[in-house]
Structure 1
Amino acid sequence: MTLILAHRGYAAEFPENTLLAFKEAEKAGANGLELDVQMTRDGELVVIHDEKVDRTTDGTGLVMEYNFEDLRKLDARFKFKELPRKEQIPSLSEVLEWLSGTSMVCNIELKNSIIPYEGMEEKVINMVRAYDLSDRIIISSFNHYSIVQSHILAPEIEIAPLLSEGLYMPWIYAQSIKAKGFHPHWRAAPDQIVKASLESGIEVRPYTVNKETELERLFKVNCSALITDDPAKAKRIREKIKQA
């Protein structure tokens, strides 16, 4: 069965990368989450996509220029201002604590290709191990040096390179860096690439799959998982295909 991973949580209906979006993704039937990690000035791992807080909060400036305590004062409701209460930028530890009470898998994307956060890999790995979640976490990044470093530090935690462009025989590349799968943009995951990768024992989890036609195509080709903003829609389409 193709797993449904909620991109930044249930981002189509709730503020992305917030505990609310993650909890609602679970309620909607997602099998797992995809989230992004940046680091504060005082070394706290926080769950937010952009290097700056401007797009998703009422604050301005770089995440790395904030202390965690000040970052928590920001409102991360983003475009969902009608929600009754303020949403905070979560710390990775509070998300993992909540996750440990569920059966969901989680793709942690290290956002260190623009700002090379010192020691991010070790911090993430130590936290994953502390919550005993090594077998339910996939560490991904566009910074492939970083995920290779993660694998060296923690061979028991799965890694997956993110690919924005098509790559020739991406399953060979994944094997070469000891990754059990890769996460291509959906445009870089045509049927033949998905099939050849799966036949080689390499998992394919495309992002960010929101179009109905693409969701249908990837379910039909038995993709390992797909990353979507709308887990409820994806689940509906998966059910429909199963019954067909």
Structure 2
Amino acid sequence: MRTQIIAHRGSKGTRPENTLVAFRAAIADGADGIETDVHLSRDGHLIIMHDERVDRTTDGEGLIQDLTLAQLKRLDAGSYFDPAYTNTRVPTLDDVVQLLVAQHFTGIFNLELKTNKIHYEGIEDLVADYFDQHSVPFKLVYSSFYAKSVERLHRLQPEVETDSLFSARRRIARRLHAQHVVLGYHPAMRWVRLNWLWLPKIQLRPWTVNKPRDMRFCFRHRFAGIITDYPGLAYQIRQNYRGEH
């Protein structure tokens, strides 16, 4: 089984994260999958960004939930990373999906609902409705640190894979797996390293796997996937690793 390379927020290590330019770069680098994060704007639009606030990755301030789509679209989401990406815009979920469709992307699209800090009312229904209304060529995977979002999405779309995110404790993830709500785990790489002698024999896609030695560890153990800021580097290491074995 080939360990799949999933680009964390696009090619986050080489482009401004969670932007169309980052997703294009990830596909060009050979990523098997794209991981990204979704929030809800004040006027009910599905917004792609990691943080609950826009401050870190744009020239704006405030919570996404307090800003309209028009306000979010005026923000510069690229110059914080490098002046070469000035005027890069904040994408919506539809912007990203349309890009992937145009790129004929058929890999994994891992959408994380960022509901563990702000429980956006109705976001699970909006996400499920969106994909019910849009036929996509890629494999959709939902994940979240917030168990209620995972459970809600599983009820709404039982045919879509759901996975549990965690950083240190897997008690809730274990329960969701036992209840057949989630198929696998997306644990922190640090947790994997600490527990490698007794890793559960289920589908694992650790995050964020950026060190070459951690990439090789995951390839050697044939994990289902790795979530990495550097999909291009991971692709090269996987090619070399396969050539050696």
Amino acid at match of 1:46: I
Tell me, yes or no, if structure 1 residue 32 matches structure 2 residue 33. Answer: yes
Amino acid at match of 2:113: L
Aligned partners of 2:21, 2:99: CA distance in 1, in Å?
11
- Structure 1 residues 42, 71: CA separation in 2 closer, same or farther (over 3 Å shift)? same
Amino acid at match of 2:196: D
Tell me, yes or no, if structure 1 residue 233 matches structure 2 residue 238. Answer: no
- Which residue is equivalent to 2:17? 16
- Which digits, 9 at most, give the CA deviation of each residue in 1:47-80, with x for residues without a partner? 0000100000000011111110111000001532
> How far does residue 133 in structure 1 lie from its aligned partner after superposition?
3.3
Secondary structure in structure 2 of the residue aligned to 1:239? helix
Stretch deviating more after TM superposition (170-179 or 141-150): 170-179
Stretch deviating more after TM superposition (180-189 or 26-35): 180-189
Amino acid at match of 1:226: I
- Which residue is equivalent to 1:219? 219
Tell me, yes or no, if structure 1 residue 191 matches structure 2 residue 191. Answer: no
- Which digits, 9 at most, give the CA deviation of each residue in 1:71-123, with x for residues without a partner? 10000015323215411110001111222331121110000111110110011
> What's the TM-score, normalizing by structure 1?
0.92
Aligned partners of 1:170, 1:6: CA distance in 2, in Å?
23
Can you give the 5+ residue segments of structure 1 that lack an aligned partner in the other structure? none
Aligned partners of 1:217, 1:207: CA distance in 2, in Å?
13
**Contact map agreement 1:135 1:156 (CA 8 A) in 2:** no
**Contact map agreement 1:169 1:193 (CA 8 A) in 2:** no
**Contact map agreement 1:104 1:136 (CA 8 A) in 2:** yes
Correspondences of 1:1-244 after superposition (within 5 Å): 1-83=2-84, 85-100=86-101, 101-133=104-136, 136-167=139-170, 173-189=176-192, 190-194=195-199, 196-197=200-201, 202-244=202-244
> What's the TM-score, normalizing by structure 2?
0.92
Amino acid at match of 1:191: W
> How far does residue 130 in structure 1 lie from its aligned partner after superposition?
2.2
- Structure 1 residues 150, 6: CA separation in 2 closer, same or farther (over 3 Å shift)? same
Amino acid at match of 1:21: A
Secondary structure in structure 1 of the residue aligned to 2:164? strand
> How far does residue 36 in structure 1 lie from its aligned partner after superposition?
0.5
**Contact map agreement 1:159 1:180 (CA 8 A) in 2:** yes
Aligned partners of 1:38, 1:188: CA distance in 2, in Å?
26
**Contact map agreement 1:215 1:237 (CA 8 A) in 2:** yes
Amino acid at match of 1:103: T
Aligned partners of 2:229, 2:118: CA distance in 1, in Å?
25
Stretch deviating more after TM superposition (161-170 or 134-143): 161-170
> How far does residue 166 in structure 1 lie from its aligned partner after superposition?
4.0
Aligned partners of 1:104, 1:8: CA distance in 2, in Å?
15
Aligned partners of 1:14, 1:41: CA distance in 2, in Å?
27
CA RMSD of aligned residues (A): 1.8
**Contact map agreement 2:79 2:85 (CA 8 A) in 1:** no
Secondary structure in structure 2 of the residue aligned to 1:14? coil
The size of the alignment, in residue pairs, is 239
Off by >4 Å, runs of 4+ in structure 1: 168-173
Stretch deviating more after TM superposition (7-16 or 126-135): 126-135
Can you give the 5+ residue segments of structure 2 that lack an aligned partner in the other structure? none
**Contact map agreement 2:140 2:160 (CA 8 A) in 1:** yes
Aligned partners of 2:85, 2:153: CA distance in 1, in Å?
39
> How far does residue 224 in structure 1 lie from its aligned partner after superposition?
0.1
- Which digits, 9 at most, give the CA deviation of each residue in 1:127-156, with x for residues without a partner? 122222396111100001111110001101
> How far does residue 175 in structure 1 lie from its aligned partner after superposition?
3.4
